[in-house]
Structure 1
Amino acid sequence: MNAEFHAHVLSRPELSVLLASTAGVAVLHTLAGPDHYLPFIVMGRARRWSVARTAFWTALCGVGHVGSSVLLAVAGVIFGYGLEHVQFVEEIRGNLAAWAMIAFGAVYFAWGLKKALRARTHAHAHTHGGRDHAHAHAHGGAHAHPHGETEGFRLTPWILFTIFVFGPCEPMIPLVMYPATQGSWSDVGVVVGAFSALTIGSMLAVVLLARQGARLIALPRLERFSHAVAGGTILAAGCAMEFLGL
């Protein structure tokens, strides 16, 4: 171990600067990364999640996202790995998470598009008693049953949770490792608590506000494409992570 583990607390000015940095980094990191909120906005609408369900999955994925990076940072200190080594591992995790989100979004998009095309309405002409008329229907409509969350992609939220666990939270690593290397474990808890609360709080605020705003937009003719839009949005978020570094 490179760090001496003894009871120590950062000075008040040090802790104040650290917490101010933590607050700024947490909020900016969350708002700058569309992958932190777009998947929950579009999936919540496509799958008709309630407010409580939307908030639950947003918060749970946020906990997995932050928690995995905290564990990695603390493990780095305990086993004597430097900041560069830990950030290298985070970079690898970031690539895996980005490509996983790209793959998930692409598959979800293809499934949603197939579902939308099968649901398109068209008419068949019939003759009854010398009179011609048409019946409009959608494939699968007459024999379809509402299955809600049980219809296709049953593990969708858990797949997203897994991706978020692999997703790195790079800006938090030095914020956690600094007091940890000083042996200030109580301050580590303060930093982790502040970063977690602000990150998850920011995710919830954006997702729930966007959810309310989306309810004002009614596009019934495009509603059947909601799953395809959700998949395409998640695909775009994954591409932004991998190719734009967001």
Structure 2
Amino acid sequence: MSEQLGILALSAAAIAFFHTLLGPDHYLPFIAMARAQGWSLARTATITALCGAGHILSSVLLGAVGIALGLAASFFEPLDEIRGSLAAWAFMSFGLVYLAWGLRQARKNAPHSHAHPHTDGYVHDHGHAHGGEHVHVHEDGATRLTPWVVFVIFALGPCEPMIPVIMYPAVKGNYLDLIAVTAVFGAVTMTSMLAVVAMPWRARRCSCAVRPCSFSGSETGVARHSACQGKQRG
């Protein structure tokens, strides 16, 4: 490995790590969704990896188009800003919708009572709740759709620091270095995402699904809203 490639690879790894760690939108939505929907670590990791791959590949595709057309890295700055704004607003909107859905589910599952009349005219209430545990988990359409919505948002969201990193070896015409640097950046980004997302399971020393609570949907909406606000500030 040449000295230049070593420096580029090290720079790509460092940029990818800190970009992921300092961007809560890279991991907070997955932790919140796992808690809300009782996902296992394996399922959470799979969805995180797929969204991370979409996040990276969309930027690689954008960079490849620029390389093919001979465009400079500065050409992508306005486009990345537009994509970033779209992704941030999409995350914010999705978080607010999920918050409303979670509050609705919490209200629906709240303990309540029904009047129970007797033949002698005596009336009393029977209290019960629908939020208890079941033998198996039911998923509605909105729950099944959630990972796909997040995937689309991640694909729309640019990986801004990646563009200049991959453009440098491309300008030099060294496409082997370009492939290597892209692979390092993508691997470190996805590994960092998975490591942070897996922390709640490691902290609890539990390999099973995280137990959902009654307000889990609203908590997820708040988490997504907070993550996208952090993305906008970044």
Q: Is 1:25–2:35 an aligned residue pair?
A: no
- Provide the aligned length of Structure 1 versus Structure 2: 229
Amino acid at match of 2:102: G
- Cα 1:208–1:96 change in 2 (3 A) is same
Shift of 1:211: 3.6
Whether the 8 Å contact between 1:74 and 1:180 is mirrored in structure 2 is: no
1:75 to 65, 73, 93: 65
- 1:176 is matched with which residue: 166, 185, 188? 166
Query: What is the deviation of 1:73?
Result: 1.3
Q: CA deviation digits over 1:186-219, x for unaligned, max 9?
A: 1111001111111000000110112443688xx9
Deviations 1:53-95 (A, max 9, x none): 1111000000000111111112112102111111221111100
| Paired amino acid for 2:37 | R
Structure-2 change in CA distance of 1:166 and 1:179 (3 Å) = same
1:183-222 maps to which residues of 2 (within 5 A)?
183-213=173-203
Q: CA deviation at 1:153?
A: 3.7
2:126 to 117, 128, 135: 135
1:99 aligns with 2:89: yes
Runs of 4+ deviating beyond 6 Å: 129-132
Shift of 1:131: 7.6
Q: Which amino acid aligns with 2:100?
A: A
Q: Is the 8 A contact 1:45 1:211 kept in 2?
A: no
2:112 and 2:166 map into 1 onto residues whose CA distance is: 59
Question: Which residue matches 2:37?
Answer: 47
Q: 1:68 to 1:12 in 2, by over 3 A?
A: same
TM-score, normalised relative to structure 1: 0.84
Give the equivalent residue in structure 2 for 1:114. Answer: 104
Quick one: distance in 2 between partners of 1:76 and 1:50? 39
Aligned partners of 2:110 and 2:131 also within 8 Å: no
C-alpha distance after superposition, 1:7-28 (max 9, x if no partner):
xxxx822111111111110100
**Residue 155 of structure 2 corresponds to which residue in structure 1?**
165
Q: Give how far 1:137 is off.
A: 1.5
TM superposition score normalised by structure 2: 0.88
Post-superposition shift, 1:147?
5.4
Aligned residue in 2 for 1:15:
5
SS at match of 2:80: helix
- Code of the aligned partner of 1:100: A
Which blocks of at least 5 consecutive residues in structure 2 are unaligned?
none
- Per-residue deviation, 1:146: 6.3
The alignment yields a C-alpha RMSD, in angstroms, of: 2.6
Whether the 8 Å contact between 1:87 and 1:173 is mirrored in structure 2 is no
Instruction: Say if 2:106 and 2:215, in contact at 8 Å, map to a contact too.
Output: yes
Contact 1:74 1:177 in 2 (8 A): no
Percent identical across equivalent pairs?
Answer: 47
AA partner of residue 13 (structure 1):
E
* Contact kept in structure 2, 1:47 and 1:148, CA below 8 Å: no
1:130 and 1:110 map into 2 onto residues whose CA distance is 41
1:181 CA displacement: 1.0
Please show how residues 224-243 of structure 1 align to structure 2 within 5 Å: 224-242=214-232
Which whole-Å CA distance do the structure 2 matches of 1:27 and 1:178 have between them?
Answer: 19
